[in-house]
Structures are given as structure tokens and as C-alpha cells.
């Protein structure tokens, strides 16, 4: 918000817009979205078809509870792996408007994907661990 505000101020008031504001804004937006997606996995606020899961037998529900984190882990791993590959591939290319690598926008995607995997592993562990006496996991 501050970077965009500075860009608007310098463009329309000073009539001299800095070139670094757009790349920095895109990096900050990518960071916010990636961390938001990982936080959604951590707090179970991601997309899900819970209505179907509530109306199936307990065994099928347990299968859904195991499959859900496995799918999230798969998506997060693909996101982390390929965004890291794209990041490394473009590190030697500089942006036109800022003194950053062209591929720096893939760094938050890679971190977000890795966090999604980490949080999904924790969710899977909670589903698979045995129930102790008294019903406490």
C-alpha cells in the first residue's frame, strides 16, 4: 500500500514516477498471496467439499481425511519445486526497473508451497496418529 501510494504521489504530483515501485509491488503481492494460501492450509480455511464428507460412512470420511492432506502436499510440492526451478533459472537476469533478479517473484511461491507441504504433513500426522485411552489423540 505504501509503495503504490508512493508511485501515485510521484507520478501525479511530482511527475517523476520511480521505476522500482511496480516490481516491488508485484513481489509484495506475490508474498502476501503465497503466505495467505499457506495460512489457509494451516487453519483449514482452504477449498474443501465438506458437505459430501459429512454424509458418507465413517470409513469413507476417514479416507477423505487422509486424501485431503495428501492432495495439498502434492500441490504444495509441485508449486515449491517448479517455482524454485524458475527462481534459479532467472537469477542472473536483472529487472529493468529494479536492481533485483527477474525471477525473484518466484521466491514467495516456493516458500508458500513448502509451507503448504509442511502444514499438510502436520495435518496428515494428526489424522493418522492413534487415539489414546479417553479419546484423546
Residue 135 belongs to a domain: no
Residue 117 belongs to a domain: yes
The pLDDT of residue 132 is: 65
Q: Taking residues 99-106, what's their average pLDDT?
A: 91
User: Does pLDDT of 49 surpass 70?
Assistant: no
Residue 134 belongs to a domain: no
CA separation for the pair 116, 42 (Å, rounded): 8
Residue 136 belongs to a domain: no
Q: Average pLDDT over the chain, rounded to whole?
A: 86
Residue 98 belongs to a domain: yes
CB atoms within 10 A of CB 98: 18
The pLDDT of residue 61 is: 86
Residue 137 belongs to a domain: no
CA separation for the pair 30, 42 (Å, rounded): 18
* Nearest by Cα to 127 from 44, 22, 25: 44
Q: Taking residues 51-70, what's their average pLDDT?
A: 86
Which range, of 9-18, 104-113, 115-124, averages the lowest pLDDT?
Answer: 9-18
The count of domains in the chain is 1
C-alpha to C-alpha distances, 79 to 86, 87, 101, nearest whole angstrom: 11, 12, 20
Residue 92 belongs to a domain: yes
With beta carbons less than 8 A apart as the criterion, state whether 25 and 102 touch. no
pTM: 0.80
Domain, as residue range, for 65: 2-128
pLDDT tens by residue, 65-102: 899 999 999 999 999 999 999 999 999 999 887 788 98
C-alpha grid cell, residue 5: 501510494
Residue 33 belongs to a domain: yes
Amino acid at each position: 500500500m505504501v509503495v503504490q501510494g508512493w508511485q501515485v504521489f510521484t507520478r501525479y504530483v511530482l511527475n517523476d514516477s520511480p521505476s522500482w515501485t511496480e516490481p516491488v509491488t508485484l513481489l509484495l503481492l506475490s508474498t502476501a498471496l503465497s503466505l495467505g494460501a499457506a495460512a489457509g492450509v494451516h487453519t483449514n480455511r482452504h477449498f474443501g467439499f465438506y458437505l459430501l464428507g459429512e454424509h458418507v460412512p465413517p470409513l469413507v470420511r476417514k479416507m477423505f481425511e487422509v486424501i485431503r492432506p495428501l492432495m495439498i502436499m502434492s500441490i504444495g510440492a509441485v508449486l515449491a519445486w517448479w517455482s524454485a526451478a524458475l527462481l534459479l533459472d532467472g537469477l542472473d537476469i536483472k529487472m529493468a526497473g529494479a536492481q533485483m533478479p527477474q525471477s525473484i517473484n518466484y521466491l514467495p511461491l516456493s516458500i508458500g508451497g513448502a509451507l503448504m507441504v509442511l502444514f499438510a504433513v502436520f495435518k496428515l500426522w494428526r489424522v493418522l496418529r492413534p487415539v489414546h485411552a479417553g479419546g484423546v489423540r
